[in-house]
Amino acid sequence: MAHISILETLDDLCIKPSIISGTSMGAIIGALYASGMSGKEIREHISRILISKDDIWRDIVAKRSDLLNW
């Protein structure tokens, strides 16, 4: 999620990187950003599928299903 905060800051400053690269989760976030999603859109999307400690079993099953569809 730290990557997303940087992208949101770049969006706020109207700075568009000419090259995006990353490894592991950074590559996934970079690919989403390169596809045209804003930092805010990426945060909202990842938050919908990320399992948190407050989720109950039903939430986890629903998020797992959404992640498989993604």
pLDDT tens digits for 23-40? 998 999 999 999 999 999
Please state, rounded to an integer, the average pLDDT across all residues of the chain.
86
Cβ neighbours of residue 28 under 8 Å, at least 6 residues apart?
22
Cβ neighbours of residue 47 under 8 Å, at least 6 residues apart?
none
**What are phi and psi for residue 62, nearest 5 degrees?**
-65, -45
Q: Which two tokens stand for residue 25?
A: 């989760």
- In 3-state terms, what secondary structure has residue 25? helix
DSSP designation for 18:
S
What span, in angstroms and rounded, lies between the C-alpha atoms of 20 and 36? 12
Confidence of residue 44 (pLDDT cuts 50, 70, 90): confident
* pTM assigned to the model: 0.72
